[in-house]
Amino acid sequence: MKVQFHNIINSSYKDVWDFQSLLHNDIKAQKRFQQVNNKVNNNLLNHLIFCEHRPVITLGKSASYDNLLLNEEQLSERSTEIFKINRGGDITFHGPGQCTGYLIFNLEEIYRDVHRFVRDIEEAIIRVLGDYGLKGFRIKDYTGVWLGDESNLRKICAIGVHLSRWVSMHGFALNIHTDLEYFNAIIPCGIEDLNKSVTSLSVELGREIDKKEVYEKLKTILADTFNFEFLN
């Protein structure tokens, strides 16, 4: 599978959402053309986007506005946008210091299994954390990657995807050196348990983290996990 990499910095959420939607629709259009013309091409160009958004709160398909703790005026004062979107999951935050990764993949080139797709994203993040000496893991019924133990569970990566005609979009949000105060505006992922909170790589390691180094690790491990090659 061939993948084009895009690195977008200091972006508005809508601009990147529009961009990934364009790529998503293009792959679907190519698949429809092949189906109508009885052609098969398993080498469609797929896309991986890494971006660092301006502050934004997004609500997935299962999100409740009850999990938003500030009104629009208060969010505006903090220069934070809000969007209701079509990914799975509840409410989360994207912003500076976070790697938001969007996977626009034709899953029919890999496997037709959305649950395995999400688990493989989690596995890639767990492997990246392992490179920093951190033991990430999954929790049953809570999509994403966590650190800690039962008395103090800390979510470091949120995951939410959308599929149409087996073409994926959206993906993961890994906190590198994110200002965690932003998460006080929401009940992250709608999880109110007192033993569950949000964390970042810099908090866990107690030091500055080289964002470019994290990006390179993510690219390498995602390519290995999903068995793809980057288009030069």
Active site residue: 51, 99, 157, 189, which one? 189
Strands 137-139 and 91-94: unpaired
Q: Is 189 a catalytic residue?
A: yes
Identify whether the C-beta of residue 27 lies closer than 8 Å to the C-beta of residue 71: no
CB burial readout 50-78, b (16+ within 10 A) else e: bbbbebbbbbbeebeeebbebeeeebeee
Beta strands of the chain (E only): which ranges?
2-11, 45-53, 56-59, 81-84, 91-94, 98-104, 137-139, 142-149, 152-164, 167-175, 196-198, 229-230
Catalytic (active-site) positions: 189
